[in-house]
Amino acid sequence: RKCLSLIKKTKFLNAYITVSEEVALKQAEESEERYKKGQPLGDLDGIPIAVKDNFSTTGIETTCASNMLKGYVPPYNATVVQKLLDQGVLLMGKTNLDEFAMGSGSTDGVFGPVKNPWSFSRQYRERRKQKSRGEDEDSDWLITGGSSGGSAAAVAAFTCFAALGSDTGGSTRNPAAHCGLLGFKPSYGLVSRHGLIPLVNSMDVPGILTRCVDDTAIVLGILAGHDPKDSTTVQNPVKLFMLPSLTDVSKLCIGIPKEYLVPELSSEVQSLWSKAADLFESEGAKVIEVSLPHTCYSIVCYHVLCTSEVASNMARFDGLEYGHRCNIDVSTEAMYAATRREGFNDVVRGRILSGNFFLLKENYENYFIRAQKVRRLIANDFANVFNSGVDVLLTPTTLSDAVPYLEFVKEDNRTRSAQGDIFTQAVNMAGLPAVSVPVALSSQGLPIGLQFIGRAFCDQQLLTIAKWFE
């Protein structure tokens, strides 16, 4: 009830698309009953959780923040949602995002932008007042980052204890960094994607947003493991729940990728990054500079692969099977076209067009096949570094702290996310686990996160190091 009342109080953040109040209250009653009767409890019995609105939920509208899916109520739960429900969680609602998770601000969904709860902290407000004098207070707020910004705002505003995000190029880690949370992207194949409405199938993973590493480990322990409904999940069972406490980091080797020192990196983030490296060094860890030479190609390579997969993924939204259908009936083709024009925003339509261009017979070799080869080179860069003895990489998560909404939307929404994803996208192309950990507040009083990147399927080791650092 406390969480539900906070959802109401913080409605202006626009974190939730659907609040499943009745469902949550019923689940809470059932949980209480189990407790009173001394029945066995689930691992998260009675714990409020929110879910990004691109995971299917039985009987609860799932929109992907798009006109295309408004009113669509799935007949099944995503595997990750089902696993959480099996452990007794209370489903508080479905959270806001960029349309179909395409974006890095949570500003581009059909339900409007998500506001960063930190915009309303006393410290930030006071500093803004001194600076801005007379600016319109109502439009003076910060983005959450994205695309899982609704999930991040929901956790940061204490309306739930954890939330599911999705991460294709940084969408869980980026809003975590901007909202002062833990944002975890598991190894590709560790957690089922069944029921996560796809953006880029070969890069998508469900992500976890929490307020501390131990909470992440508990949720991951529940979610990880093979799913017969997702053939890309691995067989090895994983049980994480309690992370060991790392007391000695002196045997660790931490890699600092030199290509991540980009000119756009803010001096504050850069200085926190080097302080973090110094901390490991002073505790006896080996900290070395490493090279990931193909980093500079990662944004453009992601763009070709992402849009190509998007073009194919979005073909299912034809007005026949799901959600929106326009009422033009001159011909089937005209109905398809008008439905898709009305249903998708310009970011989604732009990506479908680019993707279809890259997939044209005459372009396929030159773009799609070439991007796949570059993707291999990017993945090999990481493999080489880890094979040389590095345990984890330490990098920034974002270029700076959260930016004001009005500044963010000045740039064209089809290009604005590109450079900001420089630290996160390559990780998805290589399928590695990564976590953004909050480190400190900037001079504006806003959170800054740093990222640890681990070896494939060494998710537990990665979280253990993150816990030591936290």
Residues with catalytic roles: 52, 147, 171
Task: Tell me 443's DSSP state.
Answer: T
The rounded distance, in Å, linking the Cα atoms of 206 and 233 is 12
Return the range that interacts with ligand GLN (CB under 6 A); candidates 161-169, 402-410, 429-437, 452-460. Answer: 161-169
Instruction: Determine, following the binding rule CB under 6 A, whether residue 227 of this chain makes contact with ligand GLN.
Output: no
Tokens matching residue 441: 């507040």
Minimum Å distance from CB 97 to ligand GLN? 8
Size of the site for ligand GLN (CB under 6 A): 15
Pick the closer one to ligand GLN by CB: 87 or 168.
168
Strand, helix or coil at 193? Answer: coil
Instruction: Determine, following the binding rule CB under 6 A, whether residue 48 of this chain makes contact with ligand GLN.
Output: no
Look at strands 90-95 and 48-52 and give their pairing. parallel
Question: Do residues 165 and 175 make contact, with C-beta atoms less than 8 angstroms apart?
Answer: yes
Q: Which residues contact 111 (CB under 8 A, 6 or more apart)?
A: 14, 17, 63, 65, 96
Pick the closer one to ligand GLN by CB: 155 or 422.
422
Minimum Å distance from CB 36 to ligand GLN? 42
Instruction: Determine, following the binding rule CB under 6 A, whether residue 102 of this chain makes contact with ligand GLN.
Output: yes
Among 93, 117, 169, 350, which residue sits at the site for ligand GLN (rule: CB under 6 A)?
169
171-200 residues near ligand GLN, rule: CB under 6 A: 171, 199
Minimum Å distance from CB 451 to ligand GLN? 14
Instruction: Determine, following the binding rule CB under 6 A, whether residue 66 of this chain makes contact with ligand GLN.
Output: no
Task: Tell me 142's DSSP state.
Answer: B
Question: Do residues 197 and 78 make contact, with C-beta atoms less than 8 angstroms apart?
Answer: no
Q: Is the dihedral of CA 378, 379, 384, 389 positive or negative?
A: positive
The rounded distance, in Å, linking the Cα atoms of 342 and 127 is 42
DSSP string for residues in 327-384: ---S-HHHHHHHHHHHHS-HHHHHHHHHHHHHHSTTTTIIIIIHHHHHHHHHHHHHHH
The neighbouring-strand residues paired with 143 are 115
Interface pattern 304-343 for ligand GLN (x via CB under 6 A): --x-------------------------------------
Within 13 Å, how many C-alpha atoms sit on residue 209's CB side?
39
Pick the closer one to ligand GLN by CB: 147 or 354.
147
Among 99, 381, 391, 421, which residue sits at the site for ligand GLN (rule: CB under 6 A)?
421
Among 74, 103, 225, 449, which residue sits at the site for ligand GLN (rule: CB under 6 A)?
103
Minimum Å distance from CB 170 to ligand GLN? 5
The rounded distance, in Å, linking the Cα atoms of 65 and 63 is 5
How many CB atoms are closer than 10 A to CB 229? 13
Instruction: Determine, following the binding rule CB under 6 A, whether residue 104 of this chain makes contact with ligand GLN.
Output: yes
Return the range that interacts with ligand GLN (CB under 6 A); candidates 12-20, 22-30, 101-109, 186-194. Answer: 101-109
Pick the closer one to ligand GLN by CB: 101 or 213.
101
Q: Give the binding site for ligand GLN (CB under 6 A).
A: 101-104, 147, 166-171, 199, 306, 417, 421
